[in-house]
Amino acid sequence: MNSEDAFLTINEAIEIIEAALKPESLSNVQEDMFSKIWEGRTYEQIAEDLDYQPEYIKYVGFQLWRSLTNAFGEKVTKSNFRAVLRRYKQNVKIPEKHTRKTNLKASHFQIPKHTNLSEFMDVSVFFGRVDELDVLSQWIVQDGCRLVALLGMGGIGKTSLAAKLAEQIQGEFEYLIWRSLRHAPPLLTALTDINEFIESEPETEIPATIDAQLSHLLHALRTHRCLLILDDWETILRDADIAGYYRQGYEYYGEFLKRVGQERHQSSLLLLSREKPIEIATLAGESLPVRVLQIKGLKSTYAKQLLVTKGFAGTENGLDELIQLYRGHPAALKIIATTIKDLFNGNVSEFMGQSSLIIGDIFANLLDQHFERLSNLEKAIMYWLAIARQPLSLAQLKANLGIGVSSSELLAVLESLGRRTLIEKEIASFDSTILFSLQPVVMKYVTSIFIEEIFQEIHEAIATNSVEKLRLLKSHALVQQESDKIQAEQVRLILTRIKERLYLVMGTKVMEVHLQNLLAQVRENISPVMGYAEHNLLLLLE
């Protein structure tokens, strides 16, 4: 330690910084890093001490010096911070008893009097989402929204965003309660848990019925200022059906949302879900006390910061293309960064030069969870979008699906897929038609599922000698009459892969005999029900 620091201890330095930064404060990693800098350690040494990448520690340092520069009104750097702090030692009022907040990491406000955060996650390392944090804070703190739904794909960062928000606005509330519904507790169980925590009089008897419990909770939300965060809401919603409706026995959760959203109180419920509950769709509005924020991937700048923590310098060739390909999805980028490090020695350009988009088992598992919840018609639409390899209009989708699907039914299903955040919409530049498409990674995943389903159907049809098993082969064309470029992609990425899968199992000659037999059965049973079966079998025999 420099001798001139004898008049300033590390604890005093941190106290001055905390006082100057209010209402913000040092994050855990900033405080750890600052303590090491105080000891004279270099960024490289600090990175080794704290088990971080050097680039990330440098970035944290940059953020720290920028915050201190803004707080003190003069340039603060790694070389002059001691002098700046000594000058402010006499000018900054430091609380008599400075206590670091331990309930939440990187807390920015006073801790609420009552917190119950059994599901709270660590967000000491957090990137971007500045706009989203500002919007949510405005809605909940300034506008007093009673109910806010935070929606997005699995792994997109809903939970970390909500945790960061809770850190920043917790001082506005008397009670802060975080619960996950991942194990789908009955509403009565969830209400009892929350009511017992909020109830200030131990001898007060908690009601035994759902209706009475709801009224009891609403009374508490009127009496106290509470922030209630409920994560994993989609687990109580039905799967294999239109999105947003509840599983049998969980319908009263909808009534819970209605009452919280419609009745007057001074509290806020933040709901996190992969799918939009039907009540939210009905109650929400831009100027209403119920609102919706759907989050997407990280912006390029913040996505690069995330990749820095995985060992990239942030300036490698191909990073922007990589981020766009995965739409800034944090979980996907973390997974694929590991793949690039392990298999391509960190060479992003070499990875991007591969012809096949890599998903990764962990991210595929996230997509499995989404896909398994879809209705049959939703899956049919996803398959058509994967086959098309390009955005499709409502009219094109309806033509592909055939006369068995009405326009109103198609609209309802597309709306459902939108509530599940699985499709993208864009406006055609030439005629302003709405077009629907899949993100590249989702398209890759759906294509793989489609190929496997087709293979299994053909395998079962051969085993049972029955074309009744050819469900997708009848309903979806493997190759369409599109441009030469699209046709070439459909042949390479779908048709050829199905052929290879079949021939690998049975051999070329045996497979051709079986396909010829199935083709003969289809031709004997000429009816609209056979759909694309003959066309597809002929393609497989070419």
Phi, psi of 456 (to 5 degrees): -65, -40
Cα separation, 277 vs 251, whole angstroms: 11
Same domain? 256 vs 124: yes
Same domain? 82 vs 120: no
Look at residue 133 and tell me if it is in a domain.
yes
Same domain? 428 vs 447: no
Cα separation, 487 vs 496, whole angstroms: 12
CATH code of residue 198: 3.40.50.300
Same domain? 202 vs 246: yes
- Picking from 294, 322, 338, the residue at the C-terminal end of a domain is 294
Same domain? 434 vs 446: no
Cα separation, 280 vs 438, whole angstroms: 24
Amino acid at 191: L
Cα separation, 497 vs 451, whole angstroms: 7
Residue 414: which domain range?
Answer: 374-438
Look at residue 94 and tell me if it is in a domain.
no
**pLDDT reported for residue 360:** 65
Cα separation, 165 vs 176, whole angstroms: 12
Look at residue 56 and tell me if it is in a domain.
yes
Supply the DSSP symbol for 326: T
**pLDDT reported for residue 476:** 94
Same domain? 146 vs 278: yes
**pLDDT reported for residue 162:** 94
Say which residues have a Cβ less than 8 Å from residue 131's Cβ, sequence separation at least 6. none
State both tokens at 213: 């419990």
Same domain? 171 vs 69: no
Task: Show the low-confidence residues of the chain (pLDDT under 70).
Answer: 1-7, 51-56, 59, 89-122, 124, 200-204, 314, 355-358, 360, 362
Closest of 189, 181, 227 to residue 210, by C-alpha: 189
Look at residue 250 and tell me if it is in a domain.
yes
Cα separation, 245 vs 412, whole angstroms: 13
Phi, psi of 380 (to 5 degrees): -60, -45
**pLDDT reported for residue 355:** 55
Look at residue 361 and tell me if it is in a domain.
no
**pLDDT reported for residue 100:** 33
Q: Are 289 and 274 in contact (CB under 8 A)?
A: no
State both tokens at 529: 């029900």
- Picking from 438, 459, 488, the residue at the C-terminal end of a domain is 438
Look at residue 368 and tell me if it is in a domain.
no
Query: How many domains does the chain divide into?
Result: 5
Same domain? 532 vs 383: no
Cα separation, 19 vs 92, whole angstroms: 7
Look at residue 367 and tell me if it is in a domain.
no
Same domain? 327 vs 285: no
Phi, psi of 229 (to 5 degrees): -115, 120
pTM over 0.75: no
Look at residue 360 and tell me if it is in a domain.
no
Same domain? 128 vs 217: yes
Same domain? 262 vs 131: yes
**pLDDT reported for residue 356:** 62
Helices 361-371 & 440-464 angle (0-180, nearest 10): 70
Same domain? 465 vs 419: no
CATH code of residue 422: 1.10.10.10
